[in-house]
Structure 1
Amino acid sequence: MKSTLAVLALALASSIHAQPVTTQKLIIVGNGEAVGSVVATTSGDHVTVDYAVSNNGRGPRHHEALVLNDRALPVAWSVKGTSLMGGAVDEDFHWADGHAQWKSQAEQGESTAAAPALYVLNDTSPWAYGVYARALLKAPKQSLGTWPSGNMKLEKLQSTDLTANGHTLHADVYAITGIDTKPLYVFLDSKQRLVGTVDGQGTAVLDGYEGAAKQVADVVASLEDQRLRSLGAKLAHNYDRPVRIKNVHVFDPATGKVGPLQTVITFDHHITYVGNDPDKLPPTEDQVVFDGQGGVLVPGLHDMHSHATSDSGLNYIAAGVTSARDMGNVNSFLQTLRARIDAGELIGPRIVPNGFLEGRSPYSAHTGFITDSVEDAVRDVDWYADRGYFQIKIYNSMNPDWVPAIAAEAHRRGMRVTGHVPAFDTPDRVIHDGYDEIAHINQLALGWVLKPGEDTRTPLRLTALARLASLDLNAPNVRATIDLMVARHIVLDPTMSIVERLLVSRAGETPEPEAAVIDHMPISYSRYRKRTFVPAPTPELTAQYNGAVQKSLDILKLLHDKGIRLMPGTDDTNGFSVHRELELYVKAGIPPAEVLRMATLGPEEYFGRADRLGTIERGKLADFFLVAQDPTANISAIRAPRLVMKDGTVFFPSEIYGAIGVKPFAEPPPQEQLVAKPSVH
């Protein structure tokens, strides 16, 4: 492989001298501001690409080199650099003489084929989406097999004119499907150049057309709306008759007990019956009846640290997550998304919004509001309060001296305050300044191990967790903070699952957090999870990271034993991470029934909605899910819901997963076919 790359480099160098050279630049825009760029230099069939993003103190940064054949298929492709959190990227693909070889963070492999397939990058850039689209345009039926596995398809959806700076650029909009749980949308101009796309890093748009970034994002959002509305109409089952679920046990989070076999009936969004004597209520022909087959009904789960996307609702509902707290988003997007979910246009959980406030710095997160003064920050608090936001979330670059004024205004307006511990601040100080809650276990624990002047606006806020391995939980500074949390009734939203994922990630391995789901997922998801997120995991550092995970679990157990409220959240966009979050609490030593209470009734008590949600009782809204096994005996039973009900609407996870390219985890319960009884005269 190394000799091949050397030949590739020499060939590229000679080609650049022999061929006309063209350069194309794309700007990455996040929340209205430039956060990165893609610069591609083409000479004949050789292309080099430089990709860099800096948003929230992190972002991928790598260099690509590729060679294309006459069918626009890459026959050589290398990527070198660093990924989102600073982990090393070293990916290579090569095809020649009927033999393909590849090596990425996820795996290495080879294949024999008379003609090359389309290689799917593990560490990708927006430029790759254009490569995929051009290759598919030349393919029969615009479909290609992909390496390492799978199949990719292209479909033209519409045309549009992008306008900026008095110039107009005509573009065709395509959807690429087959490699992820949702399509990739690409904009190609008349020369088949990539001129726009949207991914997790932001909106990429042709240099000079940054003013059209919102237009690109709006087109993609509209296309996603159409797709998701279509799925919603197909996957949401609404009945004008009572829905009866028989032969089920009911988990009661208030007592921590699973009851005897019962029948549960719902109608018009609400639970209308929960009874221990189902034979006295025989089903009638005007009911929809499901046989729970001895399974357990559990109140809907909550993700108390989400960042909603238009398609994340599908993943949440399929996993039994019927409510979520959004901890920071593009404000206009979140307001629209909530309205569409509440109206039944899109599938998704109930979303409780938090208002995101960030300070201005080179490391700012480009979401919510970025404030330049304490006066602006207070006005932003009022903007959120006027719109009914539950909390204010303060972020890394906020000036610590502004926190008291922000917290005071939030409290005056009836809101709570949560967030990261701003850079150069401490957990103890933010609590004294008005925090009611702290987001992320690392934001709490770093206060015990950071050195003066260290900057947590960078990935240090994660990598410095290695120091936890040797932390003494009886140290005076640790006990002082915990005592302060107890005295002030401070809540912690640990997001332990994302911390674990980052610290135990190792290239080419399936980490424990992903073992239960990875074989069910499309290629892009599964490969992305088999990688190293943290930089330079030497044997010594690996041992420290592993020790930090265990020490974080010890901290969770200590906090729980002290009576500090834990709010299970993930900092992710799918229910799989909620499941893992709860598994980790059990691994820390907290009994499963107590963990389930944290994820069901506890959040509703926190929101002040426990009179409507959080338990399965007559008169409450119908939010719950059915699993085959008892999760109080094995918490992992929650990973396989058979039926989910949210607000009285029935969903079958197997249908949702099938629609987004995920192998289902469980089959739906059988539905009885009732025959009308003869009339009695």
Structure 2
Amino acid sequence: MRRFALALLLTASPALAETEKLSIVANGEIVGSVVAETTGTRTIVDYRVDDNGRGPKHREEIVLGARGVPVEWTVAGTSLMGGPVAERFRATAGHATWESQADKGDAALPAPALYILNDDSPYAAGVYARAALAAGGSIATLPGGRVTATKVRTARIGTTPVTVIRLDGIQLSPDYLMLDAQQRLFATFSATGVAIRAGQEAQAPALLTLGAVLEGERIRAISAKVAHRYDVPVRIRNVRILDARAGTLGAPATVVVMRDRITQILPGDGGAAPADQLVIDGQGGTLMPGLADMHSHTSLDSGLYYLAAGVTLTRDMGNKNDFLLDLLPRVDTGEIAGPHIVPDGFIEGRSPYSARNGFIPDTLDDAYKAVRWYADRGYREIKIYNSFNPDWVKPVAAEAHRLGLGVTGHVPAFSSPDRVIEDGYDTIAHINQLMLGWLLDPKDDTRTPLRLTGMARAAELDLASPRVQRTVALMKAHGTALDTTAVILERLMLSRAGTVAEGDAAYLSHLPIGYRRYRQRTFVPLKDAGEDQRYRAAFVKLLDTMKLLHGQGIRLLPGTDDATGFTVQREVELYAKAGIPAADALRLATWGAADYLGETATRGTIERGKAAEFVLLAGDPTRDVAAIRAPRMVMRAGAIYYPAEIYRALAIEPFAAPPPVTPPSATPPAALGHAGTAYFGAAAHDHVD
């Protein structure tokens, strides 16, 4: 009887809750947390991030069904820039329904399928991995696609043995995570950020290194696979060359390349091709200089996306210094595929909103030391950021100029575009950083999301006002340029939940399900329809500002603040949408960028003796800028890349077929191209930190 009573008591007792805590670590500092409480099959997750004034803050509730597949999943809170999040998923009796910022739908479930959140937290990675592993390593996902979980190695973090897992099929890049012996989430990590079990934060640097190693191995393998190199001349026939400076297409021509240099430009078909040359038939398409992204933040995999989009030149506007300095020579040798990178050195100020890149000097003397550090390592410019002391700009700019460096950046909080121009800025980064000087009070704090939300005020901006005209006059007098990043403003101001934005429509359906759904969201808080219209009107005014500046002779530098390549194409489209002639937009995105960077001796135009860095298109971009969205072939650093091959390697549906290629008849094809790891030798086994 006593045993029966005890058993009854135990059965009636509520299940004990288990709490898991993770810390979000960025640049050595804790910037957020994940707290998950599990009782039976139900888990409540609180997720908060506050990094540089931004970060998601939401609460998840998960109910697990058979084999760890969620049958209920809700999320409520705010996303990166404060937009509302309200997501719901439920599966019952072979049927599933869902509703998120991106979409709403329902589907029959003949077999369990894993729902992929539109607004997730690091905890979700553990849910995905456990469900995929329970299904044998791969599981169908909702609203579409498949996720694969691969055990890549085992390790010991401190005293905890863990299994390292790579998740593929959700975002553009794979997710890496660690599960402990009980399959609880120990960490998620990449080369740039870590979420790790509370109390283990000191292990974050080791995980960052591991993320870099694993991604380095993956990117090296893809880089080797898609790079085609030849020890004979490559003859590209039946093309029309875009004169980027003049904005015109020439007569049909033939371009001959030996390794990484243009050796001949011949009229017409160039005559009979020698038997020992590889011949590429351009089929009447356009051969144009590679595009440039003048506001990039390089990652290990960004180079592949850039090359596939026809981008062969980037200006890195802020990065982890050790990472970038290690990466630069690897990119130039082709070990890691990517465009030529011109680095700018990041300098921030100390505040609760400090961005965590480059240097954060505490004194003016420390700021001078940072400038000298960058100068000694061959950086082209310094980039000043939001929290930098406005009173330090003038002396720091003077020191940079003394050492031959340019000066660019955000307008520091509580300063103004006019002041930084007069204090020595050569370029202002982001068109909103320029326009906020006409829209905000000097006391407004632009270290916060106000630097985005304040742009709604541009709807009523008078571009003929004295305030605007004074800034334009100062830019002309000082030769100050603007890197526009209009595309990132379009994305943040005009993206709306449940719709595919105009800027994403040309490519989004080709990409993995998680990324597709992430793009279909509202990033800014919208109180009502009136505010929605204000943002739309404000973006039109932004485009009007670009046209005004271009008409006044201000140098514009197309940039993205992104690294997918698709946004570079959209940035050029936005120049045309602003009323800037297509030929001018193409010039600014090619020769103009090379000219600003002092690179025209080797790149920016297709001429004999210059670097073979160009793109083959099927159409004529001077008639329709959208032709740049479908490159068929790209050359860079002595290698031929076919975007279709790169996209397939990245699990993206290609946009254009490669051109016909005829190998030399005088030499066996197998002896010509080398795109395997043997080409890279022992370096293929090194890792990027």
- Please tell me the TM-score bracket, short chain as reference: over 0.9
In structure 2, runs of 5+ residues without a counterpart are: 1-10, 668-689
Cα distance in 2 for partners of 1:16, 1:39 equals 27
Cα distance in 2 for partners of 1:546, 1:116 equals 41
Q: Contact (CA 8 Å) 1:28, 1:201: kept in 2 or not?
A: no
Q: Contact (CA 8 Å) 2:576, 2:582: kept in 1 or not?
A: yes
Match of 1:270 among 261, 276, 280: 261
For the pair 1:133 / 2:155, whether they are aligned, the reply is: no
For the pair 1:198 / 2:189, whether they are aligned, the reply is: yes
Which digits, 9 at most, give the CA deviation of each residue in 1:268-313, with x for residues without a partner? Answer: 210001121434x311221110100000001011000011111111
Aligned residue for 2:241, secondary structure, equals strand
Which digits, 9 at most, give the CA deviation of each residue in 1:172-218, with x for residues without a partner? Answer: 10111122232211111111111111259821111111111111111
Match of 1:147 among 142, 145, 159: 142
Corresponding residue for residue 671 of structure 2: none
Q: CA deviation at 1:16?
A: 13
Which digits, 9 at most, give the CA deviation of each residue in 1:251-279, with x for residues without a partner? Answer: 01122110010000100210001121434
Match of 1:100 among 96, 100, 108: 96
Q: CA deviation at 1:56?
A: 1.3
Corresponding residue for residue 6 of structure 2: none
For the pair 1:593 / 2:588, whether they are aligned, the reply is: no
Corresponding residue for residue 151 of structure 2: 156
Corresponding residue for residue 110 of structure 1: 106
Cα distance in 2 for partners of 1:607, 1:284 equals 37
For the pair 1:89 / 2:85, whether they are aligned, the reply is: yes
What one-letter code is carried by the residue in structure 1 that aligns with 2:327?
A: L
Corresponding residue for residue 498 of structure 2: 508
Q: CA deviation at 1:238?
A: 0.3
Corresponding residue for residue 308 of structure 1: 298
Match of 1:43 among 33, 39, 46: 39
For the pair 1:217 / 2:208, whether they are aligned, the reply is: yes
Cα distance in 2 for partners of 1:227, 1:17 equals 49
Which digits, 9 at most, give the CA deviation of each residue in 1:29-66, with x for residues without a partner? Answer: 11111111111111111111111111111011111111
1:9-408 aligned within 5 A: 18-139=14-135, 141-163=136-158, 168-198=159-189, 202-279=193-270, 281-408=271-398
Q: Contact (CA 8 Å) 1:641, 1:653: kept in 2 or not?
A: yes
Cα distance in 1 for partners of 2:631, 2:325 equals 29
Answer with 21-30 or 484-493: which moved more: 21-30
Q: Contact (CA 8 Å) 2:251, 2:268: kept in 1 or not?
A: no
Cα distance in 2 for partners of 1:37, 1:413 equals 42
Which digits, 9 at most, give the CA deviation of each residue in 1:491-546, with x for residues without a partner? Answer: 00010000011111110001101010111111111111111011125210111111
Taking structure 1 as the reference length, what is the TM-score of the superposition? 0.95
Q: Contact (CA 8 Å) 1:53, 1:201: kept in 2 or not?
A: no
Cα distance in 2 for partners of 1:614, 1:592 equals 17
Cα distance in 2 for partners of 1:335, 1:195 equals 31
What one-letter code is carried by the residue in structure 1 that aligns with 2:353?
A: Y
In structure 1, runs of 5+ residues without a counterpart are: 1-14
- For the aligned residue pairs, the C-alpha RMSD in angstroms reads 1.5
Corresponding residue for residue 565 of structure 1: 555
1:551-562 aligned within 5 A: 551-562=541-552
Corresponding residue for residue 617 of structure 1: 607
Match of 1:437 among 413, 418, 427: 427
What one-letter code is carried by the residue in structure 2 that aligns with 1:661?
A: A
Aligned residue for 2:640, secondary structure, equals strand
Q: CA deviation at 1:343?
A: 2.3
Answer with 483-492 or 47-56: which moved more: 47-56
Cα distance in 1 for partners of 2:453, 2:541 equals 14
For the pair 1:665 / 2:664, whether they are aligned, the reply is: no
What one-letter code is carried by the residue in structure 2 that aligns with 1:65?
A: E
Aligned residue for 1:406, secondary structure, equals helix
Answer with 235-244 or 114-123: which moved more: 114-123
Q: CA deviation at 1:561?
A: 0.7
What one-letter code is carried by the residue in structure 2 that aligns with 1:193?
A: R
Q: CA deviation at 1:315?
A: 0.5
Cα distance in 1 for partners of 2:88, 2:190 equals 22
Q: Contact (CA 8 Å) 1:95, 1:116: kept in 2 or not?
A: no
What one-letter code is carried by the residue in structure 1 that aligns with 2:148?
A: K
Aligned residue for 1:370, secondary structure, equals coil
Q: Contact (CA 8 Å) 2:333, 2:637: kept in 1 or not?
A: no
After superposition, the Cα gap between the structure-2 partners of 1:157 and 1:96, relative to the gap in structure 1 and judged at 3 Å, is same
Aligned residue for 1:549, secondary structure, equals helix
What one-letter code is carried by the residue in structure 2 that aligns with 1:412?
A: R
Match of 1:574 among 564, 574, 582: 564
Cα distance in 2 for partners of 1:277, 1:550 equals 44
Corresponding residue for residue 10 of structure 1: none
Q: Contact (CA 8 Å) 1:285, 1:674: kept in 2 or not?
A: yes
Aligned residue for 1:455, secondary structure, equals coil
Cα distance in 2 for partners of 1:189, 1:632 equals 56
Q: Contact (CA 8 Å) 1:25, 1:207: kept in 2 or not?
A: yes
Q: Contact (CA 8 Å) 1:57, 1:365: kept in 2 or not?
A: no
Which digits, 9 at most, give the CA deviation of each residue in 1:536-557, with x for residues without a partner? Answer: 2521011111111110111001
Instruction: State the identity as a percent.
Output: 54
Q: Contact (CA 8 Å) 2:96, 2:107: kept in 1 or not?
A: yes
Cα distance in 2 for partners of 1:114, 1:229 equals 39
Q: CA deviation at 1:647?
A: 2.1
Aligned residue for 1:474, secondary structure, equals coil
Aligned residue for 1:18, secondary structure, equals coil
Q: CA deviation at 1:144?
A: 0.7
What one-letter code is carried by the residue in structure 2 that aligns with 1:249?
A: R
Cα distance in 2 for partners of 1:516, 1:199 equals 29
Cα distance in 2 for partners of 1:201, 1:416 equals 27
Match of 2:616 among 626, 630, 653: 626
Q: Contact (CA 8 Å) 1:404, 1:433: kept in 2 or not?
A: yes
Q: Contact (CA 8 Å) 2:631, 2:643: kept in 1 or not?
A: yes
Runs of 4 or more, structure 1, over 4 Å off, are none
Aligned residue for 2:237, secondary structure, equals strand
After superposition, the Cα gap between the structure-2 partners of 1:70 and 1:410, relative to the gap in structure 1 and judged at 3 Å, is same
What one-letter code is carried by the residue in structure 1 that aligns with 2:627?
A: A
Which digits, 9 at most, give the CA deviation of each residue in 1:360-412, with x for residues without a partner? Answer: 11111111112222221111111111111111111111111111121111111
Q: CA deviation at 1:115?
A: 4.2
Corresponding residue for residue 546 of structure 1: 536
Which digits, 9 at most, give the CA deviation of each residue in 1:462-493, with x for residues without a partner? Answer: 11111101100111110000000000000000
Cα distance in 2 for partners of 1:575, 1:182 equals 14
Report the number of matched residues. Answer: 657
After superposition, the Cα gap between the structure-2 partners of 1:547 and 1:600, relative to the gap in structure 1 and judged at 3 Å, is same
